Amino acid sequence: MLKKFDIKTSYNEIVDITESVKETVQESGIQDGLCIIYNPHSTAGVTTFSPWDPDGFLDLDDEIRRLVPTRIDFKHQHDTPQDAAGHVKSSLFGVNEIFIVADGELLIGGSQNIYFLEFDGPRSRSYYVKVSAD
Amino acid sequence: MSKVKFDNPMSRQVYSLPELIEDQYEDLEPKARKVLSFEEIFNIQKIVITGAGDSLAAGEATKQVFEQLTGIPTEVVKVIDLARFYPKNQLGTDSQNPLIISVSNSGSGARVSEAVQRAKKHGAYILGVTGNLESDLGEYSDKVLELDIPDFESAPGTRSYVVSLIALLLLAIRFGEVRGNYTMDQAMDYRYDIKNQGENLRKVLDLINEQAIQVSKEWNDLPYFEFIGAGPDYASAWFGHAKFLEANGKISTHINSEEWFHINFFARDVENIGTFVFASEDNEAMSRNKELIHYNNIMGRPLVIFTNGTSETFDNEEGIYIQVPSAKYGFNNVLTNIAPICLIASYIAELNDEEYGRGTKGKWEFADNGFGVKTSTIEIL
C-alpha cells in the first residue's frame, strides 16, 4: 500500500506526521512488515524526535542552523542561500525513515514521533507512506 | 501624402513585443540569476540606476519595484548628474557601494561612459546592463548583464526599452529572493508574470491597434501633446513623449500627475493639446489621477487614458479609454502599457509622411548615426 499526503509548510517548520503514518499502517491491514516514509524534496527531511518538551524543537532547530548556517559562500548559487543550506540539511538528515510493522501496528517508541522537516518554506510539500508485508 | 496603411516599422515592433517578451524572459532569467553572487547581493546597501533616454525611463519605471522587493534604498540618477554633479563622497561609501546599475543597450553614449568611469574611480560597484560588451560600459562595469536583442527593422526603440525593463525587473526579483524577502516560489510567480505579459498583450493587441488607428486619425492635426502619469506610470508617460518626438516630431511634453496642477495646466490653446494619461488601476496616485482627468475635462482638453481598468474606474469621466493588459503583479504593467502609445506615435508619423528622427537630414543632420550622443567631451571629475 502506498499513500501520498500533501501538506503546506511554513518557514523551517517541523511538521508532526505521526498520526498519518499510524493510520496508514492500520488502513493497510498488514500485520507484519515494513513501513517506509519518503519525502521527495531536496530541501526537506524526515526524522524522529521526542514530542514531550516543546523547547526540544527549538533545540533541534538551533542545532540544525548551527551545523549548516545559511551563508552567502555556498558554491550552489542558482537559487538562494536558504535553498543551498536546505540541500545540505536534507542530505544530512535523509529523506526517509523505516519502521517495523508488528501485529498490525507501527512499532514506535513512546517518546518517538515522526516529523517532516522543512528547511525552506513556506512551500507546498508531499510525503509518501509505503506499507509492505513480510 | 502617400497611401496610409497603418503598418510601419515601429508598429511592427509593437506587434513583435509578445514574442519578444517571452523569448527575452527565457534569455535573461538565467543571466539575471547568476550575474551577481550571493555575497554581492547581500553587500548592497544602496542602488543607483542610471541611464539616458529610454534607459533612464526604464530605471524610473522600476525604481519602486526595486525598493518594494529588495528593501534597499534606490535612486534613479540621470547620467549627466552622475557624471558631473553626484557627490564623490556618495560614490564608494562602503566596500562595493553603491551598486550602480547602468543601462544602455548600445553602451556607446559618451555620457554613459563618463558616468561609469567616474563612479568606478570613486569606488562604486558597476553592474552594466548592455548588449555591447566591447563598449565603454561593458569595459568599465564590474559585472555585465548582457542583453541579446534580435535585430529588427530600424524604428524608435520600443523593443530595446521593453527588454531593459525585463532585465531590471528580473534583477529586482532576484535581489529580493536572495535576501530572503520572499520564497523562491513567490519569486518564480513574479517572474512568470513577466513572461505572461507577452500572451496578455497578444490577446488585446488587435483591439488596441483599432483604437490607436482611430485616435491617430482624429488627433493627427493637433500641434501639441502632453503625457502624464505618476510613479511607474510616469515613466510610461515619459517614454510616450519620447516616442512622439522621435517618431513624428510633434511638440510633446511630460509631467507627473501632481506637477500638472502646479505648472502645465496653465497652457493656453487647450483644445489643441492632445493629452495622454497613463493610470494603472492599482497606481497609488489613483485619487490624484482621477482629479487630473476631471479637471482636464473641465478645461476641454482632448483626452486618452491608458489603463488596465475601465471608464468606471474613473467615475465614467469622458475620454477615450484604451485598455492595456493587466499583470497579476502591478509592477509588471509597465512592460505593456506603452504598446498603444507607440502605435499612435507611429501612425501619426505615417499620416504626416514624417521620417523617424527627421531622417537625420537638414537641421538634424548633425545627429546622424547617434553623433550627438556618442561624440561629446568626456571629463572625469
Beta carbons of A80 and B180 less than 8 Å apart = yes
Q: What is the DSSP letter of B354?
A: P
User: For chain A, what is the mean pLDDT?
Assistant: 96
Q: With 90 as the cut, is the pLDDT of residue B134 above it?
A: yes
Q: Which residues of A touch B185 (CB under 8 A)?
A: 122-124
What is this model's ipTM?
0.72
Residue A8 near chain B (CB below 8 Å): no
Sheet containing strand B99-103, strands side by side:
B74-78, B47-51, B99-103, B125-130, B143-146
Q: Which residues of A touch B34 (CB under 8 A)?
A: 77-78
Q: How far, CA to CA in Å, does A115 sit from each of A45, A108, B99, B345? A: 8, 13, 43, 62
Q: What is the DSSP letter of B179?
A: T
Q: Smallest Cβ distance to A122: which of B33, B38, B183?
A: B183
Stated pTM of the model:
0.91
Mean pLDDT along residues B359-366: 91
Query: Chain A to chain B, count of Cβ pairs less than 8 Å apart?
Result: 34
**Tens of pLDDT along A64-110?**
999 999 999 899 999 999 999 999 999 999 999 999 999 999 999 99
Q: Smallest Cβ distance to B180: which of A73, A82, A124?
A: A82
Residue corresponding to grid cell 531622417: B359
Q: Smallest Cβ distance to B38: which of A74, A123, A124?
A: A74
Residue B33 near chain A (CB below 8 Å): yes
Q: With 80 as the cut, is the pLDDT of residue B375 above it?
A: yes
Q: Smallest Cβ distance to A80: which of B37, B39, B177?
A: B177
**In B35-88, which ranges are continuous DSSP H helix?**
38-43, 54-70, 79-84
Beta carbons of B185 and A123 less than 8 Å apart = yes
Residue A75 near chain B (CB below 8 Å): no
d(CA B236, CA B60): 9
* B371 band by pLDDT with thresholds 50, 70 and 90: confident
For residue B58, the distance in angstroms to the closest alpha carbon of chain A comes to 26
